[in-house]
Structure 1
Amino acid sequence: MQVKLKEVMAQRVKVVFAVLFLFISFRGFSQNPADTVKEAQKTIYFFSGIGADSTAFMNLQLPGYRRVYISWIPALPDESIEQYAGRLKSQITADHPYIIGLSFGGIVAVEVSKQIRVEKMVLISSVRTKDELNKFQFFFMKLGLYRIIPGSLLRGTNFLTNSYFGAKTPVDKKTLKKLLQATDVSFFRWALKSIAYWDNKQLPERTIQIHGTADRVIASRLVHPDYRIKGGGHIMVFNKADTISKIVMKYFKE
């Protein structure tokens, strides 16, 4: 009787150890906290302004998200924004990405969102469709007058460019100067030409638009944003980053 009881107990112990081994073998139990956090992070892809780098986004506070800055690639002769977006989208490797597009980068992001499944998108100081752009600007760009502007002038800053872009403080002016100095003139001219023939009238899905009331590059009166930032100029993503960060975080977490 005692021998049989011992055999039963031994069998039960084996069963308990087998169950425990089964549970700890699951990936969820073997992961360390860092791996879990890494998997939980969603990826935001940033599209900057014409030829600019990630500097404009440096003040945005978006904790919990992995940042990837899209790199502008050389445009092909007579390439449309749609075609350019088709080549640029290869930099997006995450499934259902989050996107933030600034100025011209927002226009390119709109075209990218037509070609891949985007979870959510934010356009800052940008437009959803061609109807939100100034018709005079279209006329100017179609005439090709931008071709006669010297590269040194495109890269330079003065009181007119500071006013036009909404750079008021010394820090704003320094940042704008850095952004313009890094401008690729060839890319800049292609961008203006491609905008002139951009014909999008389709509203992007899962997208919000944030625009400044003092934006002179893309006139505030022509756009119909979800959020208007009082006094925000074209570089408000830098100097009004706190307000914009809160809007973006709220939208991404909804």
Structure 2
Amino acid sequence: MTIKMNKIPIYFMPGLAANPLIFSKIKLDEALFEVFYLEWEIPNAKESLNDYAKRIALNIKEENPVLIGVSFGGILVQEIAKHISVRKLIIISSLKTDLEFPRRLKLIKITRLYKLVPIGLLLKFIKLIELVSGEKMKQRMQLYEKFLSVRDSRYLKWAFDKVLLWNCTEINEDLIHIHGDKDQMFPVKNIKNCIVVEGGTHVMVFTKYRWFNANLANIILEGNSNPEASG
């Protein structure tokens, strides 16, 4: 008699404007896990983050999944977890509360300066850097362009607004936070109670894939442990 083992469903949510290719190098045991990828959808007019989270949650068909979100995707999976039961909630290169925002982003939030920058200008800035920078920077920007595929201005305006105006003071008790010590977007000095990855930047989910391949399965199965934070 063969006993069928139920696989643990894992849903990955990429960061702001990114697509699931950012997770392409992360490999989990297919005998234990079934992996799904969530994607950004264009928000409705004046749609709240809470309502958006409910809408994205409709794409989650498996019961009691593990949710893993990167950066703004980490914020979104926290909001999704308010509406569905989850086995585990893991955020990477993200924030557990708006108190973890760095000072410069708090200033931008207070002054609303980000509303003065045209979205089209931000998109053109990527191309400009590629033209004037050295070869290493060109390759990096080409890589970013591959991952940052959501270019709709409605989405980008909405996303910047929802990130900067996110208010959260209550932390999910079961949340697991993985953060790099070289993250410039959200410096680790502002982050409390996290698994620190040595040399990890804001895009470490791609650049430090070996660390995730070595440790992520154990973190999912065993909980908020502190594996060897290197590699």
Q: TM-score range by the shorter chain?
A: 0.7 to 0.9
State the SS of the aligned residue for 1:55: helix
Q: Does 1:151 align with 2:117?
A: no
What whole-Å deviation, never above 9, does each CA across 1:16-69 have from its counterpart, x for those lacking one?
A: xxxxxxxxxxxxx4x6x8xx3xx5211111111112111111111211311111
* Aligned mate of 1:52, from 9, 18, 21: 18
| Contact 2:89/2:176 (8 A) holds in 1 | yes
Q: Does 1:234 align with 2:198?
A: no
| Contact 1:211/1:225 (8 A) holds in 2 | no
**2:61 alignment counterpart:** 93
Q: Does 1:126 align with 2:90?
A: no
1:205–1:170 Cα change, 3 Å: farther
Q: Does 1:83 align with 2:51?
A: yes
| Contact 1:49/1:102 (8 A) holds in 2 | yes
State the SS of the aligned residue for 1:210: strand
TM-score for the superposition, normalised by structure 1: 0.75
| Contact 1:47/1:102 (8 A) holds in 2 | yes
- CA deviation after TM superposition for structure 1 residue 138, in Å: 3.5
Q: Which moves more between the two structures, 140-149 or 62-71?
A: 140-149
Residues in 2 aligned to 1:170 and 1:63: alpha-carbon distance in whole angstroms? 34
| Contact 1:44/1:100 (8 A) holds in 2 | yes
Residues in 2 aligned to 1:71 and 1:176: alpha-carbon distance in whole angstroms? 17
Q: Which has the higher helix share?
A: 1
1:51 partner letter: A
Structure showing greater Rg: 1
Unaligned runs of 5+ in 1: 1-28, 163-167
State the SS of the aligned residue for 2:106: helix
- CA deviation after TM superposition for structure 1 residue 144, in Å: 3.9
1:220–1:183 Cα change, 3 Å: farther
2:120 partner letter: G
Q: Which moves more between the two structures, 147-156 or 243-252?
A: 147-156
**1:40 alignment counterpart:** 6
What whole-Å deviation, never above 9, does each CA across 1:112-164 have from its counterpart, x for those lacking one?
A: 111111101211101111111124313324544334234253361538xx9xx
**1:24 alignment counterpart:** none
**1:140 alignment counterpart:** 108
CA RMSD, 1 decimal: 2.4
Unaligned runs of 5+ in 2: 223-231
Residues in 2 aligned to 1:100 and 1:189: alpha-carbon distance in whole angstroms? 24
**2:148 alignment counterpart:** 180
**2:227 alignment counterpart:** none
| Contact 1:61/1:242 (8 A) holds in 2 | no
| Contact 1:122/1:207 (8 A) holds in 2 | yes
| Contact 1:99/1:109 (8 A) holds in 2 | yes
The alignment of Structure 1 onto Structure 2 pairs a total of residues equal to 213
**2:182 alignment counterpart:** 214
* Aligned mate of 1:246, from 201, 210, 214: 214
Residues in 2 aligned to 1:237 and 1:47: alpha-carbon distance in whole angstroms? 12
2:46 partner letter: D
What whole-Å deviation, never above 9, does each CA across 1:190-212 have from its counterpart, x for those lacking one?
A: 11111232211111232211111
| Contact 2:19/2:148 (8 A) holds in 1 | no
